[in-house]
Amino acid sequence: MLYYLLYEYLRNVHESLSWLRVFEFVTFRTAYASITALLISLSLGGRMIKLLQQFQIGQQIRAEGPASHMSKRGTPTMGGILIVVSVVVSTLLWAKLNDWYVWIATLSILLYGGVGFLDDYSKIVKSQSLGLTGRQKLALQFAIAVVLGLILIFVADYKTTLSIPFIKTFTPKLWWPIYLAFIMLVVGGFSNAVNLTDGLDGLAISITFVTATALTAFTYVTGHPQLGPYLGLVYEGRVWELTIFCGALAGASLGFLWFNAPPAQVFMGDVGSLGIGGAIGMVAVLIKQEFLLVMIGGVFIMETLSVMMQVTSFKLLHKRIFKMSPIHHHFELLGWKESKIVFRFLILAILFALLSLSTLKLR
């Protein structure tokens, strides 16, 4: 929006306004999208917390979780609304809005956040830690992925080819129904991965910041007319504007972390975790880095695998691999302090992000 107002219109009004050409550069707009999202989060966060407290929208704690979590009962939740609003407003302000890619990324965080909102609201109404059933959430998540995937393939002229890391000459083109199922798996799966990670103060949002920062770099080089082809990426010029969306997500994450740092004043709830996960998964699809997302968001994947391993082992062998899953709870029950777990997982997230960025020269 600001691009059209300050660049397309005002720069042509008078020669003295030629400095507004700076708005043409995606790096400039990405930086200010990040700052805008951060400032929105910081300015509205305190008011939102008071509003949530006023309406008694507090977190319900599951009885089988670590005993130390019972003290968190009643902490305001659904703070993820702040993240979603910050990202959407910043993206609409700083991105070019004439391409489907920006709109699909924006719709992904809105729609998946909407599923999370329904889940959080259901928990509050029932006054328990269980909201929508697993089947209901999966059905809604996959339905959103199908709708967005169809728009992407048939409206946005998206190519259904796969990009395989380290094998730049092998780019198989899939039949669109198969690729649509692939989108469902990536986007729906990552939405749940972030949701599973959201269990400790500051954990999910700090890792989100690292992941979003790495994706900001990937979207920039993928959409760059020289760097994209040089690095062996599937070049797509329209991807460049997604850099602004990813930058806004990074800024919003920092802003929310201000209030979510231990001890948390507010929890993001499913409206935040599902929205963030859906958005990250969709961005990975748009920039053709679905497989590399396993490394970019390595901690999220690690948390998800711990749950899958625990469930599989218990059903088949009637034994538990971990004291509790997701794995961050396992370390809690081993006696690690919550802050130590968060910082160590954050270090792992940074390591995964750096390793993923290093692959740009290994193609």
Distance CA 233, CA 244 (A): 19
Predicted pLDDT of residue 213: 97
Integer Cα distance of 143 and 150 in angstroms: 11
76 prior amide bond cis, ω within 30: no
Contact 314, 329 (CB under 8 A): no
**In this predicted structure, what is the pLDDT of residue 14?**
47
Distance CA 246, CA 239 (A): 11
Phi, psi of 334 (to 5 degrees): -80, -10
Decide which of 65 and 299 is more confident.
Answer: 299
121 alpha-carbon distance from chain centroid = 21
**For the segment 180-212, what is each residue's pLDDT rounded down to a tens digit?**
999 999 999 999 999 999 989 999 999 999 999
pLDDT of residue 71 exceeding 60, the answer is: no
DSSP notation for 16-47:
GGGGGGGGG-HHHHHHHHHHHHHHHHHHHHHH
Bigger pLDDT: 113 vs 166? 113
The percent of residues above 70 in pLDDT, for the chain, comes to 87
For the four alpha carbons of 189, 192, 197 and 201, in that order, the dihedral sign comes to positive
pLDDT at 351 over 80: yes
Q: pLDDT for 213-222, tens place per residue? A: 999 999 999 9
Most confident by average pLDDT, 19-23, 134-138, 157-161, 304-308: 304-308
Q: In this predicted model, what pLDDT tens digit does every residue of 31-58 receive, in sequence order?
A: 999 999 999 999 999 999 999 888 767 6
What is the percentage of the chain residues whose pLDDT exceeds 90? 64
Position 168 pLDDT exceeds 90: no
Please report which confidence band the pLDDT of residue 69 belongs to, taking 50, 70 and 90 as the band edges: low
For the four alpha carbons of 41, 44, 46 and 49, in that order, the dihedral sign comes to negative
How confident is the model over 264-287, as a mean pLDDT?
A: 95
Q: How confident is the model at residue 9 (pLDDT cuts 50, 70, 90)?
A: low
Report the pLDDT value the prediction gives residue 232, as an integer from 0 to 100. 77
Single-letter amino acid, residue 293: L
Which pLDDT does position 128 carry in this prediction?
A: 59
Q: What would the two tokens of residue 24 be?
A: 């043409």
Give how far the C-alpha of residue 261 lies from the chain's centroid of Cα atoms, to the nearest Å: 18
Amino acid identity, residue 168? Answer: K
> Residues 306-334: what's their mean pLDDT?
92
Residue 23 pLDDT: 74
Distance CA 288, CA 170 (A): 13
The closest of 54, 80, 73, 79 to 129, measured between CA atoms, is 73
Tens digit of each residue's pLDDT (9 = 90 or more) over 204-243: 999 999 999 999 999 999 988 888 888 877 777 788 899 9
Q: Which two tokens stand for residue 25?
A: 């550069």
Identify the residue whose tokens are 């992904």: 108
